[in-house]
Structure 1
Amino acid sequence: MADLMLFLQRDDIPVLLQCALAHAQFETIRPFADGNGRTGRALIHAILRNKGLASHIVPPVSAGLLHETDQYFAALTAFREGDAAPLVSVFTQACQFAASSGTELITQLEAQLAHTKQLLAGVRRDAAVWRVLPHLAAQPIINSQYLRSAVGLTKPQAERALKTLARVGALTARNSAKRNVVWEHRGILDVLDAYAAGLQRQ
């Protein structure tokens, strides 16, 4: 582990190559009784963040590695036998998968928000509902309390915003309660569900 920590401090090799080798070395050491796989994949994202390649997002590189598990495990075996080339190839493919799938996800989420804006076309531009819109991609399930705490709306503003979004068909109720109704943006949830399904192991 000491050698691995020293390797992580180096700045004279490409970051993605450093990620691939550090991940494989950690998976070879396997310092814990359980959770080595999850920790090793989390290490990738920690390196990307530390090196400034992904300071505001978490690209799904680990999901890319697990997208083709047989190829991934074969590459780890080859690494342990002294051949790092298959690992670098698999890691490169995982990064490409992360970039392409992440870009497609952003495109689809933007399309959902654009559609919601169209639904709100007749609403006054100073209405509180417009302050809610940017939050929906990250939080497609909301209620009045969330809008008050996260968006800073008053209770009347939050209630009006939710009613407006429901009236135009952007939100639907998840429960039948008269108070504390929970609302969802079904279009955004469908996009996220499809994205998650595409990340499943093969």
Structure 2
Amino acid sequence: MRDMPANKENSPDSSNRSGYFRKTTSGYKAFFPNSLPPEPVVVLSGALQLQLSAADRALGALNMVISVLPNPELLTGMFIQKEALLSSQIEGTQSSLVDVLGAEEAHPPTKDVGEVLNYVRAARHGLKRLKEDDLPLCLRLIKEMHHILMADVRGGSANLTPGEFRTMQNWVGGSSPANARFVPPPASELPQLLGDFEQYSNLHNDMPPLIQCALLHYQFETLHPFNDGNGRVGRLLITLYLVSKGILDQPILYLSAYLKIHQQEYYDRLQQVRTHGTFEKWIAFFLEGIEVVSQMVIDTTRRVQLLERTDIDAIVAAGAGSQGIGFIRLMLQQPVVQVKDVEQALAVSFSTANKIIALAEQLGIVQQISQGRRNRKYIYKHYVDILAEGTEITF
């Protein structure tokens, strides 16, 4: 049994529905969360039930749109990269979608781009383990993804223990726990709390999966079990949970688009659950995000479909034939290419690949983004412009 405070004087709200604030032996106050589910249980009032129904319908519509795509994996990869970028931007990463898409394996990426690429690798690893290895959403998988996320970039040093839960106190905001905005539970509390978290994440009960997902994200961010990378891992778990429960057919929901737009409210809603037990308000915010972003993904998908048809018609009419169709579909999967990429993907000569790119450039489908005549890079600009909406860096 976890050690609990003897009184409630340190909690801003007398109900202590979410847990307790308690002064530690080091002199600062930390939050000791209750395990899920909350007591009293979440009340699905009329308004919250309507919001849940709207989110369910939006996800259903999203699944339907993706199900009729001839090659859904083309967009799935791009949407994973968009979520990775947006989630990293919430944490302060200053990189653009073009930076990420144009990264080359032959040259080490910048620190910020490396963080986004690691997020993509961690997401793909998690999805593979869920689908191919039949692994549940468990602490082992979470640690594996964290290890990939934190490799060789900010936070990847040994003292921050990539892939291992923290053994010391961390905090959010401020220069120390004494002046922090939020202090998660001490490391000594984590084994019990994380065990409860894992059990709840795989619990089959009457709680709607979207409600359970919102609660799990809140709890993970509150536990803050790693020394760094908690926000990114916590948001990654949203997608994995929805896929693991069959709520989302493909990992295409970039919820971080909504969380980035409403970043301060996102943080405030989480904190208000800790201080006042307002689970229902947090859940309503989360469900609204699901609904809004589902519609964003549907709109983006339809615009990309229209662009694909338009550009295929144009390049075929200009004389590229079936190779033109293959070229456009390559660009949907890899929007920044060199001539050698087209040569390999379409199994054509270097000269033919060069001619296809020149034709696409003449039609305004691609643009050269590198300098000089060697190792030239081309971008599928209209496609990237659609995908990049909402990822713009603001200062």
Q: Does 1:72 align with 2:269?
A: no
State whether residues 65 and 90 of structure 1, in contact with CA within 8 Å, keep that contact through their aligned partners in structure 2: no
Q: What's the secondary structure of 1:105's corresponding residue?
A: helix
Q: 1:65 to 1:168 in 2, by over 3 A?
A: closer
Q: Does 1:9 align with 2:209?
A: no
Equivalent-residue separation in structure 2 for 1:147 and 1:95 (angstroms): 37
Instruction: Give matches, 1:97-176, under 5 Å.
Output: 97-124=292-319, 126-176=321-371
Equivalent-residue separation in structure 1 for 2:228 and 2:314 (angstroms): 49
What's the C-alpha RMSD, in Å, of the aligned pairs? 2.3
Partner of 2:217: 23
Equivalent-residue separation in structure 1 for 2:273 and 2:305 (angstroms): 40
Comparing 172-181 with 117-126, greater Cα deviation is found at 117-126
Query: Per-residue displacement from partner, 1:60-81 (whole Å, max 9, x unpaired)?
Result: 1133233212322232123223
Q: TM-score, normalised by structure 2?
A: 0.46
Equivalent-residue separation in structure 1 for 2:213 and 2:235 (angstroms): 10
Residue 5 of structure 1 deviates from its aligned partner by 0.1
Comparing 41-50 with 54-63, greater Cα deviation is found at 54-63
Q: 1:45 aligns with which of 217, 239, 243?
A: 239
Q: What's the secondary structure of 2:226's corresponding residue?
A: coil
Query: Per-residue displacement from partner, 1:143-196 (whole Å, max 9, x unpaired)?
Result: 122223444444344223212212322122223433332112221222233342
State whether residues 143 and 180 of structure 1, in contact with CA within 8 Å, keep that contact through their aligned partners in structure 2: yes
Greater relative contact order, per chain length (Cα 8 Å cut-off, separation 6+): 2
4+ long deviations beyond 6 Å? none
Residue 92 of structure 1 deviates from its aligned partner by 0.4
Comparing 1-10 with 175-184, greater Cα deviation is found at 175-184
Q: Residue 167 of structure 1 aligns to which amino acid in structure 2?
A: Q
Structure 2, unpaired ranges of 5+: 1-193
Q: 1:172 to 1:63 in 2, by over 3 A?
A: closer
Q: What's the secondary structure of 2:391's corresponding residue?
A: helix
Structure with the largest fraction of helix: 1
Q: 1:47 to 1:190 in 2, by over 3 A?
A: same
Equivalent-residue separation in structure 2 for 1:27 and 1:147 (angstroms): 43
Equivalent-residue separation in structure 2 for 1:31 and 1:38 (angstroms): 12
Comparing 1-10 with 62-71, greater Cα deviation is found at 62-71
Q: 1:187 to 1:31 in 2, by over 3 A?
A: same
Q: What's the secondary structure of 1:132's corresponding residue?
A: helix
Q: Does 1:57 align with 2:251?
A: yes
Q: 1:125 to 1:14 in 2, by over 3 A?
A: farther
> Kindly, what percent of the aligned residue pairs are identical?
22
Q: Residue 53 of structure 1 aligns to which amino acid in structure 2?
A: I
Equivalent-residue separation in structure 2 for 1:47 and 1:159 (angstroms): 44
Q: TM-score, normalised by structure 1?
A: 0.85
Residue 104 of structure 1 deviates from its aligned partner by 1.8
State whether residues 59 and 99 of structure 1, in contact with CA within 8 Å, keep that contact through their aligned partners in structure 2: yes
State whether residues 320 and 356 of structure 2, in contact with CA within 8 Å, keep that contact through their aligned partners in structure 1: no
Structure 1, unpaired ranges of 5+: none
